[in-house]
Amino acid sequence: MTTVPELKRKTCTYSFHREPLTSLIELSNLVNDELRCFTFQDYQLAPTLEEYSILMNVPIRYQVPFIDVPKEVDFRVVARALYLSIKEVSDNWKSSGDVVGLPLKYLVRMAKEEAKKGNWEAFNAQLAIMIYGIVLFPSMPNFVDFAAITIFLGGNLVPTLLADTYYAIHSRHGKGGAIRCCLPLLLRWFLSLLPTSGPFVDTQSTRKWTQRIMSLTSYDIKWKAYRLNVRSVIMSCGEFHNVPLIGTKGCINYNPVFSLRQLGFVMNGRPLDAEIAESVYFEKRSDPARLEQVGRA
């Protein structure tokens, strides 16, 4: 976080809060791999494009979402978006593991300099790209990779955020290891559906989080949390009967039919097998042809 000695007119202040993200490790154990949802006593929950859009206050653009990073970096485009010179970007463009991008240390230094000068447009752009690379699309520690920068430039981040959520949870389930996606957003989505009063809240100091969650029934969930904001739901895409998603690492489908109740709609009857079948799940670099097919859809 940048500290400015003297607050001036139009100065923005930012604060970050650490959520109890460890609870998500326990939540991931409730994932049904085949159905792409969290399964509880008598109900299922699954994050949707519409919910992520509302939580982020970012619309889903009707354009082709992020598919993959370009084969070559256009330093002019990156420099223009971040209010930096082409030379500064090219000189500080580094590799970290199997990705390339900009070190966080460099971006923090540049943002501090812009804040001291009062160049708030430049500061906000540089702060935004750091949030993209460290919080929304984490890859390597203290590093903003090319994928995060590409998504920032494209301006259609919601589909990629949801894709990374499903792909990370599905890849990790039963295998251990870290869930590499935007965990604060996933936690915020889950908490938004939980009751805010009654036994669930009253027992928070006497019962474990998992015990309180597993005791909930469908009558306790806040099903209509987003009803006033959602008028239509993306149910399928192209030739797919469900919704394929392209993330930073892989592709995976999700099944919106299980989430209709969350959005204030009624699910009439049993879902069709095609609506809940696994249509897409693969690492992007393992199947370029399939990736192109999903991108066309």
| CA-angle at 132, arms to 127 and 134, nearest 5° | 90
pLDDT of residue 176: 53
For residues 210 and 130, the model is more confident at 130
- Enter the pTM of the model: 0.86
pLDDT tens-place string over residues 19-70: 455 566 667 777 888 888 888 888 889 999 999 998 999 988 888 789 999 9
Question: What b/e sequence results for 138-150 when a residue is b if at least 16 CB atoms lie within 10 Å of its CB, and e otherwise?
Answer: bbbeebbbbbbbb
pLDDT tens-place string over residues 226-236: 555 677 888 88
* Mean pLDDT, the chain, whole residue set: 85
Find, among 113, 170, 104, the residue nearest to 135 by Cα.
Answer: 104
> How far from each other are the two terminal CA atoms of the chain, in whole angstroms?
40
Find, among 62, 56, 59, the residue nearest to 135 by Cα.
Answer: 56
pLDDT tens-place string over residues 38-47: 888 888 899 9
pLDDT of residue 154: 93
pLDDT of residue 174: 47
Q: For residue 7, which amino acid is it?
A: L
Find, among 177, 157, 179, 156, the residue nearest to 167 by Cα.
Answer: 179
Q: Assess whether pLDDT exceeds 80 at residue 292.
A: yes
Cα separations (Å) of 196 from 39, 105, 191, 211?
Answer: 21, 40, 9, 16
| CA-angle at 250, arms to 150 and 44, nearest 5° | 115
Find, among 98, 102, 99, 100, the residue nearest to 88 by Cα.
Answer: 102
